[in-house]
Structure 1
Amino acid sequence: MTNTELKKVLVVEKVLDGHMTNEEGAALLGLSVRQVQRLKKRYQVGNAGGIAHGNRGRKPVHALSAEIKDRVAELYTQKYQGSNSCHFAELLAEHEGIELSGVSTRRILLTKGLKSAKQRRRSKVHQPRKRRSQVGMLWQIDATPYAWLEDRAPVFALHAAIDDATGIVTGAVFMPTECREGYSLVMMQGIKKQGIPLGLYSDRHTIFRSPNEKLTLEQQLAGMTKPLSHFGKAMHELGIEHIKAVTPQAKGRIERLWVTLQDRLVIELRLLGVSTIEEANKALPKLIAKHNKQFAVAPVSADSAYRKLGKDVRLEHVFTTREHRKLGTGRTLSYGGRIYTFAKAVPGHWDAKSVVEVRETLSGALLIWHNGEALMLKETTKAVRQAEKKPNKKAGIAQPRKPAADHPWKRTYQVHQKQIQNTTMQGRNQAT
């Protein structure tokens, strides 16, 4: 018997012996008088054993059978290994038809000696930032490399954006590495589905900020106060305020998203039999929709801050790389070591050596952006003039050159010979 039950036996015995009234016993046990009277009857029928709970030692009617416990443990080790207790319970209900709570699955796994693969550490206390009141006021964007397919494929990066007000993942895509293309695709997905957000929160990767410290002349004329990267120029064109966080905690909404997705997506992709990054991208939209349905919250305000995308705006012409080139005399320009010209006839006069903005889309197409209009380019070849080749003359034998009689070299030689002759004549005259 427990200490509480032993206390009840002692009090009931005193009441029955007349040493204590029912009211005093009820006050001492913290029960009502009627409950004390019932305890007296149970004691008179079964003595001290009547005070103990009647179901003690019996198996509860709703208790899980040993077969179910063994089945749950077997499924975890063979099929759902690595999932946390809550996710494991959801997978059992979805795929196996076994309805259990997260607490029950955790208790079964602990009983079988199976602990969660990821032990949670107590996080530091951090003051959470309030969510924005309306959808579309702020998106958070980031990427994380992870072994999403475990040992079935190399590590690759998941790019995603999340709405700060609701926690809805607005776009997601797998790419081999963290890159501008991945972030651009995520933004294009979200804008096409939801609309243009007012702000974007990111880290300080060079994809989001230009390493150059000086503004170009074109940027100064456009009213920019700081240099922008290719991605930053797209945000400027769409009118999205781009905020760059200094610490990861500042964009904690998407940092916590990675913890959830790394727990769940790995298991979901394994169950789908995904083994390549291409297959993962095909399965990703349904998995993200499932995540949003389960974890999204209602915004504080029912109003929306999204702006509609203009009918004349093509996002593939916005999320591009941008360079400036000079036109040649034949309306040609050089880009990437190749020569390009207009794909279609373009009206108007184009001066030679005029500076134009060349944009390269994610698909590799080139265009000139002129007055808010895209002028497509095509590759061409530059005409090369072939000069007439003259036969090379072979060098002949050089004719011997005899110095003239008055050549300085000869003059010196002649003077020297005369000196020798004079010396010789003087010697002969002295001898005679």
Structure 2
Amino acid sequence: MSCLIVMSQKELHRLERICEVRRGSLTVVRAAELLGLSRGQVHRLLRAYDQDGADGLRSKKRGRPSNRRHSEDFRNLALDLVREHYADFGPTLAAEKLLERHRISVSKETLRQWMMEAGIWVSRRERKKRVFQPRGRRDCFGELVQIDGSHHWWFEERGRKCALLVYIDDATGKLLHLRFAASENTFDYLHATKAYLQQWGKPIAFYSDKHGVFRSAHASLKDRTSGLTQFGRALYELNIDIICANTPQAKGRVERANQTLQDRLVKELRLRGIDTIEAANAYAPEFMADFNARFGKPARNPKDMHRPLADHENLDGAMCRKEVRKLSHSLTLRYDKVMFILDPTERATALAGKKMVVCDYPDGRLEITHDGVSLPYKTFDTLRSVHRADVVENKRLDDMLSIVAELQAGRQQQRSKSGPRRTGQTDHMFGIPGGSQRSGYQTRGAKPGRKTDFTKDPVVIARRRQALATRDAAE
């Protein structure tokens, strides 16, 4: 019985046929056909079975090292090179580099087994998945507010794809603010955060992902404010911190809320026939009240950590895009490809050569300030913009494609007005009315690919003379 356990499927198949031959239910010729062997080989198997039983049909090579195996010295050399140069390489790439740089040829599967036995490589099945331990809720309401944008087909086929900016309290799981926007951008986050702060006050901190709105990739270690984004700078002015999570699992509260919203909110919008961002924003407070009643939980500590705005804090002045520009001696500065000229007041004249702050508000207003004082200005000139490829984030790709489609649909295909004009043509891109090819770019005797000087064309000259003669006779 122990022999049968270690026999291969092929050997078990041979044993079954040999037993049938010995019982007389199968002939040697038929057994040879079924096994794909000659009659002599079948008789050899019968003798081995009669002498040693089922063990006689087992391969004599089992348990012995292969004659084609690599030597131990070769194996150790390959592993030493992998440890020294390719410790973090996979077996496939390591095998390629061994052949390319060291002239050592070994199959990737053999190298994979060697690396696994040596502990250099761990198979995909044996790799331990990263464990994310659950984090408890915060104790107080307003202590930590998670924010995120969910780009989704909120209106299904009834409207365009848009983003939903979600603000959810970590302690209670309650939705504190929802805002639909065309995309996840700085201005909409400023607008939504301003509405949140007006309703609830200042939380201790916002908890977000590493989106470019929240986190700059070029932060400075010397100056805390130099590496802030426009959104981060606005929160810094209001004494609100922002914390960026390293993984989506870390801010699971808002991520799970997004999944619930993509199910429930989409269906509620469908039942009410809402298909625009404006109508969805108007319905959002009603939905939040129902959502919080169903899924909200009481905080462990009843204290509200939201803080009121201080007297010196200007919410409207903080929630805008701010850029620093130097005022020229002619009292002009440039922002967003537009030139602005300040009114030549006594204060503006004294600030020539100094730095101004351009405040660009989400509602379209623009102010030029110095030390918090707004200076009057007028638009002097709109600069010509250079059309180059826009850098678009992945979450805004659908938005940009829809804008491009609208622009292409409204763009008129106009002929070039700088091309040559010829007498008698209704369209200078083609020949004369009637489709004659002689008034095109190529005429009789002209070489292909070259333009013809029509002032010297005898056909054109003859037509002009005839037209002049007709005019003179009429006069």
What interval of TM-score do these two structures reach, taking the shorter chain for normalisation?
0.5 to 0.7
Gaps of 5+ in 2: 1-129, 382-475
Return closer, same or farther for 1:374/1:249 CA change in 2, 3 Å cut-off. farther
Distance 1:345 1:172 in 2: 44
Retained in 2: the 8 A contact 1:160–1:172? yes
SS of the residue 1:212 aligns to: coil
The residue correspondences of 1:280-295 to structure 2 (distance < 5 A) are 280-295=280-295
C-alpha displacement of 1:133: 0.9
Q: Distance in 1 between matches of 2:326 and 2:254?
A: 43
1:212 lines up with 2:218 in the alignment: yes
Give the 3 Å change call, closer, same or farther, for CA 167–179 of structure 1 in structure 2: same
Range with greater deviation from structure 2 (152-161 or 329-338): 329-338
Instruction: Name the structure 2 match of 1:340.
Output: 340
Shift of residue 211, structure 1, vs aligned partner:
3.2
Amino acid at match of 1:134: C
Is 1:198–2:204 an aligned residue pair? yes
Q: How does 1:109-188 map to 2 (within 5 A)?
A: 126-188=132-194
8 Å contact kept, 2:215–2:228: yes
Code of the residue aligned with 1:138 in structure 2: it is L
Query: Does structure 1 conserve the Cα–Cα contact (< 8 Å) formed by 2:348 and 2:375?
Result: no
1:316 is aligned to: 316
In structure 2, C-alpha distance between the alignment counterparts of 1:344 and 1:295, rounded to whole Å:
59
How many Å separate the matches in 1 of 2:159 and 2:358?
37
SS for the counterpart of 1:143 is strand
Alpha-carbon deviations, 1:78-128, whole Å to 9, x = none?
xxxxxxxxxxxxxxxxxxxxxxxxxxxxxxxxxxxxxxxxxxxxxx98532
Q: Paired residue for 2:426?
A: none
CA distance in 1 between counterparts of 2:206 and 2:289 reads 22
1:102-158 deviations in Å (ceiling 9; x for gaps)? xxxxxxxxxxxxxxxxxxxxxx98532111111111111000111111111121110
Which residue pairs with 1:422 in the alignment?
A: none
Q: TM-score, normalised by structure 1?
A: 0.54
- C-alpha RMSD of matched pairs (Å): 2.5
Paired with 2:253 and 2:344, the residues of 1 have a C-alpha distance of 47
Task: Output the CA distance in 2 between the equivalents of 1:377 and 1:315.
Answer: 21
CA contact (8 A) 2:167 2:175 kept: yes
Q: Distance in 1 between matches of 2:258 and 2:369?
A: 38
CA distance in 1, matches of 2:142, 2:244: 17
- Aligned to 1:303, what secondary structure does the other structure show? strand
Which residue in the other structure is 1:365 paired with?
365
Taking the aligned partners of 1:199 and 1:346, their CA distance within structure 2 comes to 43
Give the structure 1 partner of residue 296 of structure 2.
Answer: 296
Amino acid at match of 1:252: G
Amino acid at match of 1:379: K
Aligned 1:240-319 pairs, distance under 5 A: 240-311=240-311, 313-319=313-319
SS in 1 for 2:298: coil
Q: Residue 331 of structure 2 contacts residue 348 of structure 2 at CA under 8 Å; is this kept in 1?
A: no
Partner SS, residue 234 of structure 1: helix
The 1:356/1:192 distance shift into structure 2, 3 A limit, reads: same
Range 126-135 or range 237-246, more displaced:
126-135
Report what 1:410 is aligned to: none
Shift of residue 282, structure 1, vs aligned partner: 1.7
The question of whether the paired residues in 2 share the 8 Å contact of 1:184 and 1:231 is answered with yes
Q: Decide whether the 8 Å contact of 2:320 with 2:362 is kept in 1.
A: yes
**Mapped contact 1:212–1:227 kept (Cα < 8 A):** yes
3-state DSSP class of the match of 2:303?
coil
8 A Cα contact 1:338 1:379, kept in partner:
no
Percent of aligned pairs sharing the same letter:
37
* Letter of the 2:300 counterpart: V
**1:160 touches 1:186 (CA, 8 Å); kept in 2?**
no
Q: Which AA in structure 2 matches 1:143? A: G
Return closer, same or farther for 1:329/1:282 CA change in 2, 3 Å cut-off. same
For residue 141 of structure 2, give the secondary structure of its aligned residue in structure 1. Answer: coil
Change (3 A) 1:247 1:175: same
Q: CA deviation at 1:204?
A: 0.6
CA 1:289/1:336 → structure 2, altered by over 3 Å: closer, same or farther?
same
Q: Is the 8 A contact 2:151 2:161 kept in 1?
A: yes
Following superposition, the deviation at residue 364 of structure 1 comes to 2.3
Does the Cα contact within 8 Å between 2:230 and 2:321 map onto a contact in 1?
yes
Larger radius of gyration: 1
Give the drift of 1:251: 0.3
Alignment partners' CA distance in 2, 1:378 and 1:296: 50
Partners of 1:125 and 1:173 in 2: CA distance? 33
- Assess, with a 3 A threshold, how the Cα gap between structure 1 residues 272 and 337 changes in structure 2: closer, same or farther: same
- Whether contact under 8 Å (1:356, 1:370) holds in the other structure is yes
Q: Distance in 1 between matches of 2:297 and 2:158?
A: 34
Query: Can you give the 5+ residue segments of structure 1 that lack an aligned partner in the other structure?
Result: 1-123, 383-432
